[in-house]
Amino acid sequence: MLPEEHRLRSTSLFGETVRRGRKKGSRTAVVYVYEGQFEGPGAGRPSAAPVTAGGPRVGLVVSKAVGNAVTRHAVSRRLRHTAGRVLDDAEMAGTLRPDLSIVLRALPAAATATSGELERDVRHALRRLLG
């Protein structure tokens, strides 16, 4: 499970990240990165509180196109685990700034992909976006 400081919970920030952020896709996932988090009354926090505290925030999108509820839940768990490993990785630590919002959107191929394939695809997309 992702630590509290790395969870993207604000609906408006999800929308801003997907609409305004840059994206890269792979066979199993699309990664959206939005630099400079959206602040304001729609961000789900008082504007006086810093939205960037705690580090990059990660959110997941796993739609019904991926599969039934059991499949979606399994994909969500694998993506969450992948996000945690990427955030803890020393190699990625220098590129993942605290002001980033990241949304991982699973594609239907994620249902049959292994955790290793998901992690490889997410890391590759993040490197392309932030490198």
Q: What is the pLDDT of residue 37?
A: 56
For 28, phi and psi rounded to 5 degrees?
-110, -20
Domains and CATH numbers, the chain: 4-130 (3.30.230.10)
pLDDT above 70 coverage of the chain, percent = 86
The mean predicted confidence, pLDDT, of the chain is: 86
> What is the model's pTM?
0.85
pLDDT digit string, tens, across residues 44-86: 443 334 444 567 999 999 999 999 999 999 999 999 999 999 9
Q: What is the strand order of the sheet 57-61 is part of? A: 22-25, 29-35, 100-106, 57-61
Residue type, position 96, single letter = L
- Asked whether residue 128 carries a pLDDT value surpassing 60, the answer given is yes
